[in-house]
Structure 1
Amino acid sequence: MTRIRQFIQLKTELPGPNSRALIARREAAMPAGYGKATDIAVRRAHGALVEDVDGNVLIDFAGGIGVLNVGHTPPEVVAAIQSQAEAMIHVCGLVATTEPHVQLAEKLNAIAPISGAKKAMITNTGAEAVEQAIQIARVATGRQAIIAFEGAYHGRTLLTQTLTSKYALFKKGFGPFAPEVYRAPFPYLYRTAIGADLSEAQRVELVWEAFERFLVAHVMPEHVAAVIIEPVQGEGGFIPVPREFMRRLREICTRYGILLVVDEVQCGFARTGKLFAIQHYEVEPDIVVMAKSMGAGMPIAATVGRAEVMDKVHLGGLGGTYSGNPVACAAALQAIALIERDDLCTRAAYLGGIACERLKRMQERFALIGDVRGLGAMLAIEFVEDRASRRPLSPEKTVAVVRDLARNGVLAIRCGLYSNGLRFLFPLVIGEAQLHEGLDVVEETIERASR
């Protein structure tokens, strides 16, 4: 039964005629390989609502793929952008120094979950910040090998694409890739020892034993510069790293002088109920990579690490034309201020609890939902053809669910190593009534898919 909508307003079928026209122009002007989750064309957005070019209003559960924790067009961020743009748009940090650039570096050093002296290198994208972290780690340790994990997503540059898993979608035809990158098994416990009657602790033990064999069979730890890991895998399916696995990983990195790099690009800035997801663990990284919601929609990222590590790079070894762009820095400073002022960490935990409870109830109703997981307001459901075998739902059927959601007023995107997950990244400023209305649409859509 379709419930009455208070926030979703559908004036045309979706996509409407103006959306279809703009999408046709996009497809004529842009490469076929540039994907899109929906055929919706957006004209304006505010908070957790977006209005398309046909006047339809939808609820946003994608949040710009984790970019909009503070919501669309927060007035304070808009004002900061306008004020800075009037004063200066660009000068280049390699040429001169600006107040917003320095102020943001100071702020990131203050909030990064690393003890002691820190330094921040501000860049434009998460991929650039990840690549920079790897470069710094190699210089700091004098080693070359990097360990990444199955299911990881770290970007689309040559090096970060090498680090990224999910070959067919992101890497097919693009090789050869960068050398000295080794891929280890990730504790994807839902798919560890399927059918076996094992506890979570036993499954973690199995994956850890595989990791220890990996350090014998694939690369020796004394050769490794860094291990890079997402505390909650994003594209891989919103899978939180088990606490015991993360503790052991930190321990082995310390033992062998390996730098622990945590990629907080998607899970950072209050999304999981902490400012950074690694704060859920009693573990300190050596380098933190951050981006996305750091800038409230502006392209900005950062690599923050222990000062003695960051300072190992030679003069001139770090930089970029747009690094520390003052407009993007002004937006980031205001976005961080809003996260702190409005205690969005607490709000993420609260909203995540509401959403998780409803998704668990849906799991009880629909055999299509194999797993519900995540941390805070970073949640996903994994669709399966069969619960016993856990055979993944096909990507085509998952895409059909996403497109049906869009037709009924909710923007969302898929995720998962098998492209069979639905991720939830609603802005943390979403109202409870808006959240429930969006979840109503999710439930109705899954009900149709189940039939």
Structure 2
Amino acid sequence: MREKFMEFPYEEEIRKLSYPEAPKIITETVPGPKASEILKKVYELETVTLLAPYIIPFVWQEARGATIMDPDGNIFIDMTAAIAVNAVGHSHPEIVEVIKSQAEKLMHTADMPSPRRVELIEELSRIAPGEMKGNVRVAFAMSGSDAAEMCLKFARWCTGRTEIIAFQGGYHGITAGVLALTTNPAYKRGLPILVPGIHFAPYAYCYRCAFKQKGYPDCDLQCARYVEDLITKPGTGLVDKPAAVIMEPVQGEGGYVVPPRDFVRWVWKVCRENDVVFIDDEVQSGFCRTGKWFAVEHWDVTPDLLNLGKALGGDFPVAAVVGLKKIMDKLPKASQPVTFAGNALGCAVALKNIELMKRYKLDERASKLGSYFMKMLKELEDETKIVGEVRGLGLMIGVEIVKDKRTKEPMSLENMVWLAQRMRDKGVLALMCGRWGQVFRFMPPLVITKDLLDKVYEIFRDLVKELEKRI
């Protein structure tokens, strides 16, 4: 019997957001006949650059809270939050009402001021991490990739330098500038060098240490020393000090990698001492996901530029760069127009998202539910030969699957796809990540309930043990 778990504020209200019967599979196969017909049209009409339909064939019809219904009436528990987007759940009734009421008054504003836009800027200034509070300017964007592009542009303008340090395993988007920072070769194989002056350093991926160290703290943080050497020593390949270091405080697509606290603080301190802009990319980890409003708050540092997206808008695309005034005040005037960014409808939705995060205390909820779920997954790690490591913060959790714990050889992509598809067949939508696709990630809407997490764990546990027998 699972341990008794405390109830959260508004728990009954939160329970009612999701389909109560999830998971529920009523077709003989998944996808069922209606979903299969839609997928057939997708394969015929959409570009093959799509990822999900070719890895985990799945069709969305409706979604509520932390659950999804497909066109055949099958109901799934959502462990993706639509890639960390729907923190307050899918189609929250108050979000739907805000969209309706705002749409009757004003939607598109051609990147010009509106009351909602100013309200959102003020709110972002209030919730920003560390010394950013009350000391920032905001630039709106349409996506995380958009916002990351702005961060690079702003850092270069501000410093008058051009080179950038990014990290191995990092993901910052797929538009031309930030694609140069993204390390997954599948996104850029066959393309010419898109942006020069990008330098990569090993991330603090302790389970697979690039320096072959036994682990933190015995490693003496060689990864942080490497970054310091790049910035401060000659002959490292940089022409000058870089304009910026861009970092995910918890790597997302790279494998849900949580670095040691001292790694982040060390890199940040070196940036501060050398007039290098520290860009904190929180597109996936921000807005309560890790148990704090922003993941960087776990490390007690203040970024110079904060890259936001995904959960900021939730069901409506909104992104932003929040920057210290000392950076933003150096930018040239009228130099960054974005036609659709900061429109009244998107700002109204973002404001309601933040209001719901505060009301439901989603930072505390993510922390406590994440610890509960992680404890069960850690037990599974001890029980099986193929779970190499369970790691995470809050409800941003990665499970690294390996063929052999001793050698840490990554599980084959074929077996990882099998695991994801079997999870879907049992009524749980979840995705992989990691450099070899060997990490199973759990990032549900933060309004998921303990009961739904228990069901997910039982399904995952049984399938991991089945996979162990298969190999």
Q: 1:332 aligns with which of 340, 343, 350?
A: 350
Whole-angstrom distance in 2 between the partners of 1:190 and 1:221? 32
Offset of residue 193 of structure 1: 6.5
Deviation at 1:339, TM superposition (A): 0.4
Q: Is 1:183–2:200 an aligned residue pair?
A: yes
Residue deviations 1:282-314, cap 9 Å, x none? 211111011101112211100001112112221
Structure 1: how far apart are the matches of 2:385 and 2:103? 52
Q: Look up the match of 2:25.
A: 10
CA contact (8 A) 1:187 1:204 kept: no
**What does residue 54 of structure 1 align with?**
72
User: TM-score by structure 2 length?
Assistant: 0.91
Is residue 142 of structure 1 aligned with residue 157 of structure 2?
A: no
* Residue of structure 2 equivalent to 1:206: 222
Provide structure 1 residue ranges, at least 5 long, that are not aligned to the other structure.
Answer: none
Tell me, in whole angstroms, the C-alpha distance in 1 between the residues paired with 2:210 and 2:167: 18
Change in Cα spacing, 1:10 to 1:204, as seen in structure 2 (3 Å) is: farther
SS at match of 2:217: helix
Structure 2 residues without counterparts, runs of 5 or longer: 1-19
Answer whether contact 2:206 2:215 (CA < 8 A) is retained.
no
Partner of 1:20: 36
Indicate if the aligned counterparts of 1:129 and 1:289 stay in contact, CA closer than 8 A: yes
- The correspondence for 1:426, drawn from 444, 449, 461, is 444
Q: Could you tell me how far apart the structure 1 residues matched to 2:210 and 2:48 are?
A: 39
Range with bigger deviation, 397-406 or 50-59: 397-406
Comparing 155-164 with 311-320, which one deviates more in the overlay?
A: 311-320
2:347 and 2:404 mapped to 1: Cα distance? Answer: 48
Number of positions where the alignment pairs a residue of Structure 1 with one of Structure 2 = 443
Structure 1-normalised TM-score?
Answer: 0.95
- The equivalences for 1:88-103 within 5 A come to 88-93=106-111, 96-103=112-119
Of residues 320, 336, 352 in structure 2, which corresponds to 1:318? 336
Question: Which of these residues, 340, 344, 367, is aligned with residue 349 of structure 1?
Answer: 367
Q: CA deviation at 1:214?
A: 3.6
Q: Percent same amino acid among aligned pairs?
A: 34
Take 2:236 and 2:413, find their aligned partners in 1: how far apart are those partners? 31
After superposing the two structures, state which structure 1 stretch, 84-93 or 328-337, moved more: 84-93
Aligned with residue 285 of structure 2, among 267, 273, 277: 267
Aligned to 2:236: 218
Q: How many angstroms does 1:212 deviate by?
A: 3.7
The question of whether the paired residues in 1 share the 8 Å contact of 2:228 and 2:267 is answered with no
- 1:7 alignment partner AA: A
Confirm or deny: 8 A CA contact 2:180 2:193 kept in the other structure.
no
Aligned position for 1:192 = 209
The correspondence of residues 52-451 of structure 1 with structure 2, limited to 5 A, is 52-93=70-111, 96-115=112-131, 117-167=135-185, 169-192=186-209, 198-203=214-219, 205-215=221-231, 216=233, 217-220=235-238, 222-451=240-469
Question: Separation in 2 of the partners of 1:311 and 1:250?
Answer: 21
SS at match of 2:137: strand
Of the three residues 35, 43, 53, the one matched with 2:51 is 35
